[in-house]
Amino acid sequence: MEDWLIDDERLSIGRKSVLPGEGFFRPDSVEAEQAEREAAETLADAEVVVVADADADGLACTALIRTARGAGELLPASPHEIREALAWVGEYAPPDAALYVCDLCPDHESDIEHLDAVVDRVADVTWFDHHQWDDELAAAIEAAGVDLVVGESGEVCTADIALAELDYEFPERFVDLAAATRDHDLWIREDERSDDIADFAYWAEPEEYVATVMEHGANLPREVEEMLAERRVEKEALIETAIERAELREVGPWTVGVTYGRCSQNEVAEALREQGADAAVIVKPSGPASLRGTENFERCHEVAAQVNGGGHPKAAGCKPDIYDDMLDYAHHWSTRGAVAKQAIIDAFRRLEVENEGEVEADDK
């Protein structure tokens, strides 16, 4: 395949919104080999290892741990990469290393199948998180000898937990950083800086983000603000495209806004809320979807759990298990996510059926 076919720079906003980014078209095997090589190099001489989601919350945790412990080699991992990250720690980390896992919640037993090997290898393991946990998985992690701290999902972000649990007197900028991170991660949207740190975490390399917030906290320097302003021109165009493509569907007692596109989901969800949506579904060209709730709908994690995902009551993610080959992805792009949308809407409907059953049971 010619490189120019997946070159983002040559695509119009309309076409870019429909297709996934260049990384999608690289085989997972190639990505995995490169990721393992980089992990081995990162872990080789690490005194402190941080396995964290590479969003603003996970990276804030990394900054806090680095500050408190004076070290902290970052191994970025998405929620679907917990298993691989733990396997690499179990194979490549020094025996006297300390491991912190931050802002990651396992969905299945397979996600933690390498945890015993990790506990046997390193000095100690601490796990900070704030998602909705399965009780059995939490018990299994604690039984393995991990110091697990899970905060209240709707009240704190993982940076709040790290700030409270780490034995260190943090400067005020780190307290402020945790507050701004919470404002973004819990979708409170009262701190105007929270969109800045979220965008910076998305566009910058993880190490750049960590170094910047360690020095400046949530008050990003001018050069970062200038970069964000430049990048947001395209971001806003992609948001507008997704909003124009959206439709409102009545699902039981809820109005659900549904759209498709490569875009910033929080801003799109806010626009749909202003149009009357109780919940928003943003299906992405790469296959996953983001769910966002409101004060009228706080069950996003329940919807996501039915469609290969999880998260929080008002913010969750999933990836419907509907992609068997590239023809399925071609259909996904050409129909603007029709099958994925329907799978998620059906999950909303099942929630309503469950509600009706509970009401009938209560009436008996």
| CATH code, 128 | 3.40.50
Number of separate domains in the chain: 2
Residue 297 lies in a domain: yes
At 236-258, the pLDDT tens digits run 999 999 999 999 999 999 999 99
Cα–Cα distance, 348 to 48 (Å, whole number): 42
Residue 16 lies in a domain: no
Instruction: Please give the structure tokens belonging to residue 226.
Output: 């200038």
**What's the average model confidence in pLDDT over 136-142?**
97
Q: Residue 227, SS3?
A: helix
363 pLDDT higher than 60: no
Burial code (b: 16+ CB inside 10 Å, e: under 16) for 41-62 equals: ebbeebebbbbbbbbbbbbbbb
H or E element at residue 290: strand 289-292
At 183-231, the pLDDT tens digits run 999 988 899 999 999 999 999 999 999 999 999 999 999 999 999 999 9
193 and 271 together in one domain: no
Q: How many CB atoms lie within 10 A of CB 165?
A: 16
At 36-58, the pLDDT tens digits run 999 999 999 999 999 999 999 99
Cα–Cα distance, 141 to 309 (Å, whole number): 20
208 and 70 together in one domain: yes
Model confidence at 353, pLDDT cuts 50, 70, 90, reads low
Cα–Cα distance, 286 to 7 (Å, whole number): 16
Q: Which domain holds residue 326?
A: 241-357
The domain boundary, picked from 191, 220, 249, lies at 220
Q: Can you give the pLDDT at residue 1? A: 66
Instruction: Please give the structure tokens belonging to residue 144.
Output: 């393995």
Residue 12 lies in a domain: no
52 and 197 together in one domain: yes
Contact assessment for residue 363 and residue 267, using Cβ atoms and an 8 Å cutoff: no
What is the DSSP pairing of strand 98-102 with strand 48-52?
parallel
At 259-316, the pLDDT tens digits run 999 998 989 999 999 999 999 999 999 999 999 999 999 999 999 999 999 888 999 9
Residue 202 lies in a domain: yes
Q: How many CB atoms lie within 10 A of CB 361?
A: 8
Residue 227 lies in a domain: no
211 and 252 together in one domain: no
Cα–Cα distance, 219 to 221 (Å, whole number): 7
- Positive/negative CA dihedral, 88, 94, 96, 100: negative
* Sheet of 147-150, strands arranged across: 73-76, 48-52, 98-102, 124-129, 147-150
215 and 335 together in one domain: no
| CATH code, 347 | 3.10.310.30
211 and 260 together in one domain: no
